Amino acid sequence: MKLNIRKIQHNDWDTLVSWWLEWRYWKVAPPKDFLPDNGTGGFMVEKNGIPIVSGFLYFTNSQGVLLEWIVSNPNYRDNDRKDAIILLIDTAEEFIKKQGKSYIFSIGRNKHLIKIHKKLGYSVDEKPSYEIIKTI
């Protein structure tokens, strides 16, 4: 069966939180109100009704859009996870292009995700950077 992509829905929230916590990139999952559209501003890729990967789009008042908080199902065992990530990124690109935007920007440290971005023609700064966040 083929991969399917859809908008993130409110009922995906618990799944996303469990993925973030299982991957242990962060000690806590991001709060809903930190994410676009209160946790629904992005896409979810699935196969046979099983969620595989998701990501969020932060629209700005510039021509740039940030694709962020990409996370995948740590328990997904089929060999098409990479294809699901490519579908997510390609769909995000097409979506923002239709919105009249010119640039897509992402931050990441996962070597597999960085490799996929390179394959898709992204420029990758080889110097490490850090997400710096403060609750105010």
Radius of gyration (Cα) for the chain, nearest Å?
A: 14
Say which amino acid occupies 93: E
The pair of three-digit structure tokens given for residue 136, joined into one six-digit string: 């105010």
The pLDDT of residue 127: 82
Q: Using the CB atoms, write b or e for 31-63: b if 16+ within 10 Å.
A: eeeebbeebbbbbbbbbeeebbbbbbbeeeeee
The pLDDT of residue 27: 80
The pLDDT of residue 135: 73
The pLDDT of residue 47: 96
Say which amino acid occupies 63: Q
pTM, full prediction = 0.89
Give the other-Cβ count within 10 Å of 109's Cβ. 11
The pLDDT of residue 104: 94
CB 121 within 8 A of CB 86: no
Q: Which domains does the chain have, with CATH numbers?
A: 4-119 (3.40.630.30)
Helix (H) and strand (E) counts in the chain: 3, 5
Q: How does pLDDT run along the chain (136 residues), one tens digit per residue?
A: 799 999 999 999 999 999 999 988 778 899 999 999 999 999 999 999 999 999 999 999 999 999 999 999 999 998 999 999 999 999 999 999 999 999 999 988 788 888 988 998 888 888 877 777 777 7
